[in-house]
Structures are given as C-alpha cells and as structure tokens.
Amino acid sequence: MSMEKLINLQGIDTKLKDLNDLLGDLPSRVNELNQQEESIKNSIIEDKERLKVLEVESHKGEVRIAEINGKINKLKDQLFLVTNNKQYDALMNEMDHMKDERSTIELQTLSYMEEKETLAESVETMESDLGSLSNDLSGRREKLEKVISNSANEKSSLEKNRAIELDGIDLNIISIYNRVFDARDGLAVVNLSGNGCGGCGAHVPMQKVTEIRSLSAIHRCDVCGRFLYSENNSVN
Ligand SMILES: [Zn+2]
C-alpha cells in the first residue's frame, strides 16, 4: 500500500473538517444575532410603554396644577372676607399646603420630562441599531443558506472520494489513522519538516528519514504517532 492513499485521505478529511467547522459556527452566529435583535425589540417596547406612562402622569400633573391654581385664587378671594385672625391663619395654612403640593408636582414633572428625553433618545438609537442588525442578519441568513447548499454538494463528493481511498487501505492502518486523527486534532498524516516531524517537531532518525523518502515503508512519529511522508521523496 502506498502512502499516497493516506495522504489523500488526510486531505479529504481536512476539507470535511473545515466544512463542518464552517457550518458549526455560522448557525450559532445567526442565532446570537437573532437573540440580540429580540432583546433590542423588547427594550424598545418597554421604553415606549414607559413613555406612555410618563405622558399620562405628566398630563395628570398639569391637570392637578390647574386645579390647585384655581383653588389658590379662590382662597385669595376669601382672604378679603375674613373677620378674624383664626380664619385668616386657616386660609393661609390651606394656601401653603396647596403651594407645597404644587411645587412637588412641578419637580416631579421636571424629572418626568428628563426621563422622557433620555428614553426618546435611547429608543431612537435602538431603532437605528435594529435596522443595521436586521440588514446584517438577512445577509448572514442568505450566506448560511448558500453555504449549507454548497457544502452539502461538496460534502457528498468528498465522502464518495473518501470511500474510494479507504477501499485500498489496510484496515489496521485505518484504525490507527482514526485514533491519531481524533487524538491529534484532525491531523494524522504530516510532511517531514527537515529531519523532524511536521506535526510535533520531534527529531526523526536519519535511517527513518531515508526510508520515508524512498517510500519503502510506512512510518509514524515516535512522539505524536502521526504518519510521516516526504514531499521530496527520492523515488520521483
Ligand atoms: Zn510527531
């Protein structure tokens, strides 16, 4: 059996792995964007609801202030009609109460106004974020669909080729290949790098290097277990 089939197998498996990695990442990214979109939408709804509440409360405040102003004016008129100090004090007291309430409401209205301004700004920002996010999302969804359909074709042709390569390889070697492939992050067949293993860098004895170059036997790295080959073998 030649090393060539193992080298081809590794090439096919690397492509398959890349395809899976690509697919593995895209759907989760689209999912993330979907969640972001959802959360912005919810925040916008919440902020708009709060804006409505503030509107209603501000209006209530205005109505109450008008009411208080009317009452204060009436109390002022009554001041001219009092006949003793006790009545006078009572009216002044009531008027002070009214004025206190009015300034409390005025302060509250001011803080509502500030909150409204902040909320309106934040809604505006979020709506523009949402716009660009939705654009990004539809772009990615399109890309994802394209990648899925392309990779489905590529995957099935790679798997066909894989079966052809596997057919000519010793079952024993395949089982070693699979073990190393899983243990070494998908890289089971490597090129020599000088006199070292192209996978882990371990030194390869000269005798072995010569045999690898002459393709006389299948060799593996003593340290990482990967199959070794040489692009500049002495046979060609
Ligand atoms: Zn190695």
| C-alpha of residue 212 to centroid of ligand 1, in Å | 14
| C-alpha of residue 25 to centroid of ligand 1, in Å | 29
| C-alpha of residue 197 to centroid of ligand 1, in Å | 5
pLDDT in tens, 38-72: 999 999 999 999 999 999 999 999 999 999 999 99
Q: Could you please report the per-residue DSSP string of 93-141?
A: HHHHHHHHHHHHHHHHHHHHHHHHHHHHHHHHHHHHHHHHHHHHHHHHH
CATH number reported for the structural domain that contains residue 93 in this entry: 1.10.287.1490
Residue 236 amino acid letter: N
- For the entire predicted model, the pTM comes to 0.55
- Which residues place a Cβ less than 5 A from the ion ligand 1? 197, 199-200, 202, 221, 223-224
Same domain, 125 and 83: yes
Cα atoms found within 13 Å of the Cα of residue 165, Cβ hemisphere only: 21
The boundaries of the domain holding residue 96 are 24-167
pLDDT in tens, 97-127: 999 999 999 999 999 999 999 999 999 999 9
| C-alpha of residue 209 to centroid of ligand 1, in Å | 13
| C-alpha of residue 182 to centroid of ligand 1, in Å | 15
Residue 13 within any structural domain of the chain: no
| C-alpha of residue 30 to centroid of ligand 1, in Å | 38
- For 209, the token pair is 């290097």
Same domain, 161 and 209: no
Residue 70 amino acid letter: G
| C-alpha of residue 5 to centroid of ligand 1, in Å | 20
Residue 87 within any structural domain of the chain: yes
pLDDT tens by residue, the chain, 236 residues:
578 899 999 999 999 998 888 777 777 877 888 898 999 999 999 999 999 999 999 999 999 999 999 999 999 999 999 999 999 999 999 999 999 999 999 999 999 999 999 999 999 999 999 999 888 888 888 888 888 788 888 989 999 999 999 998 999 999 999 999 999 999 999 999 989 999 999 999 999 999 998 877 889 999 999 999 998 765 44
Residue 14 within any structural domain of the chain: no
- pLDDT at 236 (0 to 100): 41
| C-alpha of residue 161 to centroid of ligand 1, in Å | 27
| C-alpha of residue 162 to centroid of ligand 1, in Å | 24
